[in-house]
C-alpha cells in the first residue's frame, strides 16, 4: 500500500459534567496517562501525518497537555457544543489542507487500538469512502446503531432517534470513523440538526454518503475498544480493561506474576524477561525493569530503572531517579530517590537514600539515612565502592565516603571519610564496673524501707 497521508481529528470539547471534577475529563488518567494521551498514542501508532484536537472554551489545561505530548498537533476551539459534526467542523482549517484519509475519534475513549484504526484506513485505501468502526455490544443502550443492508452500511441511527426495531440492533458505533478526505468537507456541511437532540450528528454523514451513491463500510473491533469514559465508574472500568491488557502483555512477554490482578502498571512500564513480580506491586510512570529481576511483594516503584538480576522488596519504595544496578538488593522499608545503587550494592533494611551515589558492592546497614535537605537546598551523598556503612548511620550531605571505607554503626557523618579508613562518629563507650548492681541494690533497699514504715 503506498503511503497515504492522514489527518486524525480528536474530539475533546465535551464538558465532562458527570465526572464532577475541576479537571477536564480527557485529562483524567488511566494507567498514569491522561485519557487523551492514550488516544494520541494510538493516533501516532496508526501513522497520522497531521493531528487536530478540538477543545472546548477555556480548556487551557487540555491545550497544555496536547502541546507537550504532540507538539505538531493543531488545536481548534469549539465555542458552542452543538454536536459531533459541528465539532469536526471546528477543525475546518485542518480539513481544508486536504489529506488522503481523515480519521475522527473521541478523546474520552482510551482503549482504542492502532490496529483497528489501520483496519479502517485500509478499507478507505481499498475503495470505501467511509469506514465506521463497529462493535457488538452486550448492552447497546446509548450507542448509535449501525444499519446494514447486506454488507453495505446505510445509516447510523442514534438511540434517541431509533425505532423499536433499530434499538434491537447490537452492532454499534464505537465512535471511530475513517473517511476518504476528498469531498468530506462538502459532505459535513450538509449535515443538519433535525433530530431528537437538535445536534449536528457526525453519524448522519453515513446516510448522506450512502444516498449520494458512495461506498460506506463497517469494520468490527473488540467491544472493549469502544469503552468511553463519562463518569468515575466508567473511568475505573477503563482502568480495569487497561490493566488487564498490560498484565496479559507482560505475561506473554515472559513475566511471571503470582497474583496478576494485584499488580498495577503504568502506560509506559517496561519489563524484561524472566522477571518475577510478587503480589501487590505498583508501578507508577517511567519504570524500566531489566531481565531476571525479582520484585517482591508490596513494593511501590515509580520513575526508576532496575538493572538485570536485582532484587527489590518486599516493601521497597523506589522514587523518581532511583537507578538500581545489576544484582543490587533493596530490601524492606527502604526508600530510594534520585540515587544510584551500584552493581551488587545492598540496602536491605529501613533506609532513606536520597540524592546519592552508592558504589558497587557497598553495603548500607539497617537504618542508614542520608540527610540530604536543610529545609532549603538538597545535597548529595557519594559513597565509594566496597564500603560498609554501619547500622543507624546518618550521612549528613554534602559528604563523601571513600572506596573500601567503614563507617561505625550509629555514626553521624558530617565530614568526608578517606578510602579504606574507619570513621567512628558517636559518643565513646564508657563502662562503670558494678554500677548497675549497686544502683539496683540501693533501689531495692529504699523500697523495702518504705514498705516496713507503712506497717502498723
Residues with catalytic annotation?
349
- Looking at the Cβ atoms of 15 and 248, the one nearer to Ca ion is 15
Q: Is 14 one of the binding residues for ligand UD1 (CB under 6 A)?
A: yes
Convert residues 63-92 into a mask of x (bound to ligand UD1 by CB under 6 A) and - (unbound): ---------------x--xxxx-xx-----
- Looking at the Cβ atoms of 20 and 455, the one nearer to ligand UD1 is 20
Query: How far is it, in rounded angstroms, from Cα 125 to Cα 245?
Result: 30
Q: Is 32 one of the binding residues for ligand UD1 (CB under 6 A)?
A: no
Of 228-267, binders to Ca ion (CB under 5 A) are: 228
Residue 165: how many other CB atoms lie within 10 Å: 9
- Looking at the Cβ atoms of 36 and 407, the one nearer to ligand UD1 is 36
DSSP codes, 145-213: EEEEETTEEEEEE-GGG--HHHHT--EEEEEEEEEESTTHHHHHHT----STT----TTHHHHHHHHTT
Closest distance of CB 160 from ligand UD1, Å:
9
Closest distance of CB 12 from Ca ion, Å:
12
Can you tell me which of 31, 34, 228, 342 binds ligand UD1, judged by CB under 6 A? 228
Q: Which three cell numbers stand for residue 231?
A: 463518569
Cβ pair 259, 240 in contact under 8 A: no
Contacts with ligand UD1 by CB under 6 A: the residue count is: 26
Query: How far is it, in rounded angstroms, from Cα 283 to Cα 301?
Result: 5
- Looking at the Cβ atoms of 137 and 255, the one nearer to ligand UD1 is 137
Q: Which three cell numbers stand for residue 329?
A: 538488593
Can you tell me which of 31, 32, 175, 390 binds ligand UD1, judged by CB under 6 A? 175
Q: Is 203 one of the binding residues for ligand UD1 (CB under 6 A)?
A: yes
Query: How far is it, in rounded angstroms, from Cα 257 to Cα 121?
Result: 37
Choose the contact partner of 34 out of Ca ion, ligand UD1, none; CB within 5 to 8 A by kind: none
Single out the residue of 428, 339, 352 nearest to residue 380, CA to CA. Answer: 339
Q: Which residues pair with 417 in a beta bridge?
A: 401
Q: Are strands 394-396 and 412-413 parallel, antiparallel or unpaired?
A: parallel
Can you tell me which of 75, 120, 153, 202 binds ligand UD1, judged by CB under 6 A? 202
Query: What are the residues binding Ca ion (CB under 5 A)?
Result: 228
Query: What are the residues binding ligand UD1 (CB under 6 A)?
Result: 11-14, 54, 78, 81-84, 86-87, 106-108, 143-144, 156, 158, 172-173, 175, 201-203, 228
Amino acid at each position: 500500500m503506498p503511503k497515504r497521508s492522514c489527518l486524525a481529528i480528536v474530539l475533546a470539547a465535551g464538558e465532562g459534567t458527570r465526572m464532577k471534577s475541576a479537571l477536564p475529563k480527557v485529562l483524567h488518567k488511566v494507567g498514569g496517562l491522561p485519557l487523551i494521551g492514550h488516544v494520541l498514542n494510538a493516533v501516532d501508532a496508526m501513522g497520522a501525518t497531521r493531528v487536530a484536537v478540538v477543545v472546548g472554551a477555556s480548556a487551557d489545561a487540555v491545550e497544555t497537555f496536547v502541546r507537550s505530548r504532540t507538539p505538531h498537533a493543531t488545536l481548534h476551539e469549539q465555542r458552542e457544543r452543538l454536536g459531533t459534526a459541528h465539532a469536526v467542523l471546528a477543525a475546518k482549517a485542518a480539513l481544508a489542507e486536504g489529506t488522503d484519509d481523515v480519521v475522527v475519534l473521541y478523546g474520552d475513549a482510551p482503549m482504542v487500538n492502532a490496529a483497528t484504526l489501520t483496519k479502517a484506513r485500509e478499507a478507505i485505501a481499498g475503495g470505501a469512502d467511509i469506514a465506521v468502526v463497529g462493535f457488538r455490544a452486550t448492552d447497546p443502550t446509548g450507542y448509535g446503531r449501525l444499519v446494514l443492508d447486506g454488507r453495505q452500511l446505510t445509516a447510523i441511527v442514534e438511540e434517541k432517534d431509533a425505532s423499536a426495531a433499530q434499538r434491537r440492533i447490537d452492532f454499534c458505533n464505537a465512535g471511530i470513523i475513517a473517511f476518504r478526505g476528498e469531498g468530506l468537507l462538502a459532505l459535513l456541511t450538509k449535515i443538519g440538526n433535525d433530530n431528537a437532540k437538535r445536534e449536528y450528528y457526525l453519524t448522519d454523514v453515513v446516510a448522506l454518503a450512502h444516498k449520494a451513491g458512495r461506498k460506506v463500510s463497517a469494520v468490527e473491533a473488540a467491544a472493549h475498544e469502544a469503552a468511553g469514559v463519562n463518569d468515575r465508574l466508567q473511568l475505573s472500568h477503563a482502568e480495569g480493561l487497561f490493566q488487564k491488557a498490560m498484565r496479559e502483555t507482560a505475561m506473554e512477554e515472559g513475566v511471571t506474576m503470582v497474583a496478576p490482578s494485584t499488580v498495577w502498571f503504568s502506560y509506559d512500564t517496561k519489563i524484561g524477561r524472566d522477571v518475577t513480580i510478587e503480589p501487590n506491586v505498583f508501578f507508577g510512570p517511567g519504570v524500566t525493569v531489566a531481565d531476571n529481576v525479582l520484585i517482591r511483594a508490596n513494593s511501590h516503584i515509580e520513575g526508576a530503572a532496575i538493572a538485570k538480576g536485582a532484587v527489590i522488596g518486599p516493601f521497597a519504595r523506589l522514587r523518581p531517579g532511583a537507578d538500581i544496578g545489576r544484582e543490587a538488593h533493596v530490601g524492606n522499608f527502604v526508600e530510594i530517590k534520585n540515587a544510584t545503587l551500584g552493581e551488587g550494592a545492598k540496602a536491605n533494611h529501613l533506609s532513606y537514600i536520597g540524592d546519592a551515589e552508592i558504589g558497587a558492592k557497598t553495603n548500607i546497614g539497617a537504618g542508614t539515612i542520608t540527610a540530604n535537605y536543610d529545609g532549603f537546598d538538597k545535597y548529595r551523598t557519594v559513597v565509594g565502592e566496597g564500603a560498609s556503612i554501619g547500622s543507624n548511620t546518618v550521612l549528613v550531605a554534602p559528604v563523601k565516603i571513600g572506596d573500601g571505607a567503614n563507617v561505625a554503626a550509629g555514626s553521624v557523618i558530617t565530614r568526608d571519610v578517606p578510602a579504606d579508613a574507619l570513621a567512628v562518629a558517636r559518643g565513646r563507650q564508657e563502662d562503670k564496673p558494678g554500677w548497675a548492681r549497686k544502683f539496683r541494690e540501693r533501689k531495692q533497699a529504699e523500697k523495702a524501707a518504705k514498705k516496713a514504715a507503712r506497717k502498723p
